[in-house]
Chains A and B, each alone.
Chain A
Amino acid sequence: MINLKGRSLVSITDYSKEEILRILDIAEEFEDNQRQNILNGYVIGSLFFEPSTRTRLSFESAVQYLGGSIIGFASPDVSSVTKGESLKDTILTVSNYSDLIVMRNPLDGSARYASEVSPVPILNAGDGANQHPTQCLLDLYSIRKTQGTLDNIHIAMVGDLKYGRTVHSLVQALSLFGATFHFVSPDSLKMPSSVKTWVKNANLEYHQYTDFMDVMPIADILYMTRIQGERFPDPLEYEKVKNAYILENSMLENTKDNLKVLHPLPRVNELNEDVDDNPKAYYFQQAKNGVYVRQALIAAILGLK
């Protein structure tokens, strides 16, 4: 019996394959019937130690569709954090007022630490460059939804594969389901060896490309990422690669019928707007799926599903 009640979610690797599938099944229930008043009387703490409007709104929407209330802060400048309160003290205080804490924090590993000190479960909404498991689960939901399965898909990941935490987590999660990976990036932004080792240890295949067009006929999923200037110590290096991988509608001509284009959003310029009207563009629906997945997680962790 799968029981996620009372358990924090810090890293996607905290969940087994069965537990991931259970969350996706519950999320599907919420897609069919989104308004369910099961959080009536529950209070969710929402602590954003760095602003992330998109993720915060998605969580707030999830809680409100379930009839729950939210307390917390959207950025550290309105909280006691600016007065130098430790993370531990903030967590211990807010855990007195809430049943579950959603936390976004710029420090790597802050979510694991919070889960150790907190008497209520922690739902990691991003800890620095480390993990963002709700993004990973909504990606999985979107893949299963559009492909009918998570098993043995061909996924092409494009752009910043070195620093992009979403693609790292997605590789880890999809390794449970037997995917074939196609990594497309400039040489300076290749997938780190630790992630490739993960693929090898799962006895799966990966292929590396610098030419974007090579993967077009093969992919079931085209997972685009943005190349972020602030990750580059040298601005010249950024200028060299920032326009390397831009998807335009015409490039989708010779792709599989079942291909879908995913992107964690927000985009910069790597997805041309002319892709938006192509039925293969799925990124806005993907963001919408995030609400169902977050509803599912909150409900499961509170033992309501």
Chain B
Amino acid sequence: MKNKRTELKVSAIRNGTVIDHIPSEVVYQVFGILNLDQTNSQVYLGTNLDSKKLGKKGIIKISDKFFKDEEISKIALVAPNATLIEINDYDVTKKGNVHLPENVDKIVKCINPKCVTNNQNVPTSFKVTEDHKGNMKLFCKYCEKTMAKDNIEFN
């Protein structure tokens, strides 16, 4: 597989997870969302790699780690076209696109400074919705404000 060879350039992993087709500018954000600064696994991070689809792309490979759906779906907030690949003994055992979750809890800050979540010890909770143009929006369960993708800030 041609695709596989490009990935191998970064470094092959025997078991674990590869997140491919991350826009270069959000690679570190994805890294943070998955709390990879706190893992004991080996992590390879590549950025500004050539990509036909994106021009420049990023890739993250994590050895011996598999993610739950809700963990991985969080990265769809910043990298909706990322590809998720699971590897077992050098073979691709699962490959697919990341999917947006229905709800986003705790990880995102509410943009409204007067929201209760920014003033009391209350974890945030958003519903993922779309506006009439199909743009992804987050609806705060508390203050009922709708937030556009560009305003998403992670806790």
Query: Which residue of A87, A106, A113 contacts B114 across the interface (Cβ within 8 Å)?
Result: A106
Contact count band on A? 10 to 19
Q: Is the CB of A109 within 8 A of B142?
A: yes
A-side contacts of B120, CB under 8 Å:
86-88, 107, 110, 113
User: Known contacts A110-B116, A113-B116: does B131 contact A130 (CB below 8 Å)?
Assistant: no
Interface flag for B112 (CB, 8 Å)? yes
Among A108, A112, A197, max chain B CB count under 10 A is at A108
Interface flag for A128 (CB, 8 Å)? yes
Q: Is the CB of A107 within 8 A of B132?
A: no
A-side contacts of B145, CB under 8 Å:
108
Q: Is the CB of A11 within 8 A of B114?
A: no
B145 to chain A, nearest CB (A): 7
Count of CB-CB pairs between chains A and B under 8 Å:
50
Interface flag for B102 (CB, 8 Å)? no
A-side contacts of B132, CB under 8 Å:
197, 200
As a 0/1 sequence over residues 119 to 162 of chain A, the CB contacts with chain B under 8 angstroms (1 = contact) are 00000000111110000000000000000000000000000000
A-side contacts of B119, CB under 8 Å:
107
Interface flag for A254 (CB, 8 Å)? no
Contact count band on B? 10 to 19
Interface flag for A194 (CB, 8 Å)? yes
A-side contacts of B140, CB under 8 Å:
109
A90 to chain B, nearest CB (A): 11
**CB nearest to B118 among chain A residues:** A107
Interface flag for B14 (CB, 8 Å)? no
B48 to chain A, nearest CB (A): 37
As a 0/1 sequence over residues 31 to 45 of chain A, the CB contacts with chain B under 8 angstroms (1 = contact) are 000000000000000
User: Known contacts A107-B119, A197-B132: does B114 contact A112 (CB below 8 Å)?
Assistant: no
Q: Is the CB of B116 within 8 A of A107?
A: yes
Q: How far is the CA of A131 from the CA of B116 in the complex (A)?
A: 13
Q: How far is the CA of A130 from the CA of B117 in the complex (A)?
A: 14
Among A88, A106, A194, A200, max chain B CB count under 10 A is at A194
Chain B 23-68 interface residues, beta-carbon cutoff 8 Å to A: none
B-side contacts of A11, CB under 8 Å:
144
Q: Is the CB of A197 within 8 A of B131?
A: yes
Query: Which residue of B121, B131, B143 contacts A109 across the interface (Cβ within 8 Å)?
Result: B143
Query: Which residue of B131, B143, B146 contacts A108 across the interface (Cβ within 8 Å)?
Result: B143
A17 to chain B, nearest CB (A): 20
Q: How far is the CA of A106 from the CA of B131 in the complex (A)?
A: 28
**Ranked 3 nearest A-B pairs via Cβ:** A109-B142, A108-B143, A109-B143
B interface, CB within 8 angstroms of A: 112, 114-117, 119-122, 131-132, 140-146
Pull 8 A–B residue pairs with CB atoms less than 8 Å apart, ordered by A.
A107-B114, A108-B114, A108-B142, A110-B116, A112-B116, A113-B116, A131-B144, A197-B131
